[in-house]
Amino acid sequence: MTKHFRRFSRRQFSTIFLASASLSLAVILNGCGSQQAKQYEATATTTLTWRVNYTNDPLEDKRGRYETFESASLENVNGQKPEEAVFQDNKGIWWPKNPPKPTIDEIEAGKKKPYEKFGKPQLLREVEYRVKYDKDGERVNLPTNYSVYRQVVKAYPDIPLNFTMGLNNGTVEKATPITN
């Protein structure tokens, strides 16, 4: 058996392996489909969360643990300003009012060990983008990214879209207007 493998040099084997891996990846990625939709919706859920880092050594943030406190969320739908929105960022995403900052009593109560030190409260900003569309009479709701969110917002509500799906059709990777 080893006689057969000795026919190839290390360089030839690497080339064959790389070609095989590339072919396999192409087959996997080809499994990603596309979907056309006339009715769709883009959402961007914004969340503001206060968190504090607790650590044994305040100079070593990486070894600590984060404790979360108050949080506030807001759902943007098709780029429209939600009623509870307070401000819009430079990407056109609306944000809620800041949640109440944790008090010193709350921060101290978050200590799990008496020798832990705590850092300054940090306001964490997160956005989750999703696309919803109808497929075979059912509503599909998939995660996406900012560029797809913006494309859907610009096309809404009159322009049909073609969605390019990600791996196993589990995400929306691209939205392209369908022109006749």
Containing structural domain, residue 13: 1-30
- Supply the pLDDT for residue 178: 86
Q: Which residue has the tokens 């990600």?
A: 166
Q: Do 23 and 73 belong to one domain?
A: no
49 lies in the same domain as 26: no
- Do 10 and 88 share a domain, yes or no? no
Predicted confidence at residue 34, as pLDDT, reads: 76
Confidence of residue 136 (pLDDT cuts 50, 70, 90): confident
91 and 11, same domain (yes or no): no
Q: What is the pLDDT of residue 169?
A: 82
| Residue range 3-24, pLDDT digits in tens | 555 566 777 667 766 766 655 5
Q: What is the mean pLDDT of residues 150-176?
A: 89
- Structural domain count, the chain: 2
User: 């599909």: which residue's tokens?
Assistant: 140
Answer yes or no: do 90 and 164 share one domain.
Answer: yes
3-state helix, strand, coil in the chain (%, to 5): 25, 40, 35
Q: What SS3 state is found at 15?
A: helix
Q: Which of 157, 163, 131, 161 is nearest to 144 (CA)?
A: 131
Q: What angle do CA 166, 161, 85 make, to 5 degrees?
A: 85
pLDDT score recorded for residue 39: 84
DSSP labels, the chain: -HHHHTTS-HHHHHHHHHHHHHHHHHHHHHT--EEEESSEEEEEEEEEEEEEEEESSTT-GGGSEEEEEEEEEEEEETTBPPTT--EE-TTS-EE-PPPPPPPHHHHHHT-SSTT-EE---EEEEEEEEEEEEEETTEEEEEE--HHHHHHHHHHTTTS-EEEEE-GGG-SEEEEEE---
Domain shared by 70 and 151, yes or no: yes
Quickly state the pLDDT bin for 68 (edges 50, 70, 90). Answer: very high
Structure tokens belonging to residue 32? 């990603």
Residue 27: the pLDDT is 47
CA pair distance 146, 159, nearest whole angstrom: 19
25 vs 44, residue with greater confidence: 44
Same domain, 103 and 88: yes
37 or 47: which leads in pLDDT: 47
Q: How confident is the model at residue 58 (pLDDT cuts 50, 70, 90)?
A: low
The structure tokens listed for 114 are 């008496």
Q: Are residues 138 and 113 in the same domain?
A: yes
Q: pLDDT-derived band of residue 83, with 50, 70 and 90 as boundaries?
A: very high
